[in-house]
Structure 1
Amino acid sequence: MKSKKIRLLTILLLFLPLCVVLLGAGCDDDDEYSHMVLGYIVGSFIADEFNSEGEATGNKTERGYCILLEGNEDKSMDFYTFNFPNDLFSFPDEVLSPDYNGYDCGPTFFPDSLKYVYKIKLKYQIVREQDKVQFLTGACLDIGVPFFWENYDQVIVNETTKN
C-alpha cells in the first residue's frame, strides 16, 4: 500500500512541472515588442499633460507622432508615440505647426502630398494603461465631433529606421 502512495506521489510530482510549463506558455507577455513592421509618419502633435487626478501639470508633452502601418491606408493612423527619434527625419516646420488641430483637438495630419513620404521600419510595444502619458490637446474650436484619442493605442517604438 505504501509503495502505491509513493508511486502516485512521484507521478504527481513529475507532472506538476509539466503543468506549470504548459500554463505559462499560454500567457501573453505584454512587455514584448512586435515584429518589424513598415509604416509612415502621418502627423504630429504637442499636448498639455495632466496628472492621475485629472489636473493640468502646466507641462507640455514631448512631440507625439502619428504612425500609419503599411496596408492600412484607409485609416488616418494606427497609433501614436512620444518616443520617436527626433533626428530620423527633418520635417518641414510648416507640417509641425500648429501643435495640434484646434478644430477637433486631434493631431495635425500631414498634407496628402506628404502622407507617404516619411516611411519607416520599426518595432513597437503598446503602452500599459498605467504607464500612458496623460494629455489633453486643448480647447476645440469646432462644435463638431472631437478626435477620439481612445480609439488609438499609445506605443513605444524601438529599432526605428528610415525605409
Structure 2
Amino acid sequence: MKSKRIELLPLALFLLPLCMVLLGAGCEKEEYSELVEGYIVGSFVCYEVGTDGVATGDYTERGYCILLEGSEKTDSYWPMDFYTFDLSSELFEFPEKVIYSSVDYNGNDCGPSFFPDSLQSKFKITFEYRDVKKDEGVRFSCGICTTMGPLFNWKDYNQVLLKNVSKIVN
C-alpha cells in the first residue's frame, strides 16, 4: 500500500499546478493604467455598425479623442493617442462651435473633428484607462470621405475604457 501512495503523490503534485494554470487561463484581468493626465482634443459621432458589419442607421454616442500629457503626437496632424465613448458629457461645457448635436466627423478624411489649436490644452483630465476587449468596443463607420488626401486610419488608435476620471481646472 505504501508504494501506491508514493506513486500517486508525484502525479498529484504534477496535476495540481497544471489544473491551476488551466483554470486561470480563462480569467482575464481588467488591468487599468496608473493615473495619467491628458486632454480632450476632439470628438466625433459616427454611424453604428452591427456585428454583421452592416451599418445600423443609428448614431454612436459621442466619442472623444484623448491626447496624453507629454505625448509625442502633440504636434502631429492628428493629435491624439486614443479615443473613448465613456467620457461623461457633463464633465466639461464644450463650446457649441466645437461640439455639435448632430453627426460630427470630418467628412473629408472620415476622422474625428479636432478642436482648434487654442482649445487643445483647455480640457484637461486625470484618469486610468485600458484598451477595450474585442467584444466591448463600439463598432462604427464615419461616412464616405470626399478628399483625395490622407484618410484617417482608425486602426492606428485604440478605443479605451476610462475610470476615475477627474477634471483638472487650469
Cα distance in structure 2, aligned partners of 1:79 and 1:67: 6
The residue identity in structure 1 corresponding to 2:152 is F
Question: Deviation digits for residues 35-85 of structure 1, max 9, x if unmatched?
Answer: 222111111001011212222211111110001112214252111111101
Paired residues in the alignment total 162
Alignment partner, residue 82 of structure 1: 85
3-state SS of paired residue (1:59) = strand
Question: Deviation digits for residues 129-153 of structure 1, max 9, x if unmatched?
Answer: 2332111111212112210001111
Pairwise CA distance, 1:18: 4.0
Cα distance in structure 2, aligned partners of 1:73 and 1:43: 17
Cα distance in structure 2, aligned partners of 1:28 and 1:118: 36
Residue 74 to residue 56, structure 1, CA distance change in 2 (3 Å) = closer
Alignment partner, residue 137 of structure 1: 142
Alignment partner, residue 131 of structure 2: 126
Unaligned runs of 5+ in 1: none
Q: Does 1:93 align with 2:96?
A: yes
TM-score (norm 1): 0.85
Alignment partner, residue 166 of structure 2: 161
3-state SS of paired residue (1:125) = strand
Cα distance in structure 2, aligned partners of 1:68 and 1:8: 60
Greater share of residues in helix: 1
Cα distance in structure 1, aligned partners of 2:32 and 2:137: 16
Question: Deviation digits for residues 74-130 of structure 1, max 9, x if unmatched?
Answer: 252111111101111111111124711121110011111111221111112211223
The residue identity in structure 1 corresponding to 2:145 is C
Cα distance in structure 2, aligned partners of 1:16 and 1:135: 46
3-state SS of paired residue (1:95) = coil
Alignment partner, residue 152 of structure 1: 157
Alignment partner, residue 52 of structure 2: 53
The residue identity in structure 1 corresponding to 2:85 is F
3-state SS of paired residue (1:129) = coil
Which piece of structure 1 moves more, 66-75 or 101-110?
Answer: 66-75
The share of aligned pairs that are identical, in percent, is 46
Mapping for residues 15-26 of structure 1, pairs under 5 Å: 15-21=14-20
Alignment partner, residue 64 of structure 1: 63
3-state SS of paired residue (1:6) = helix
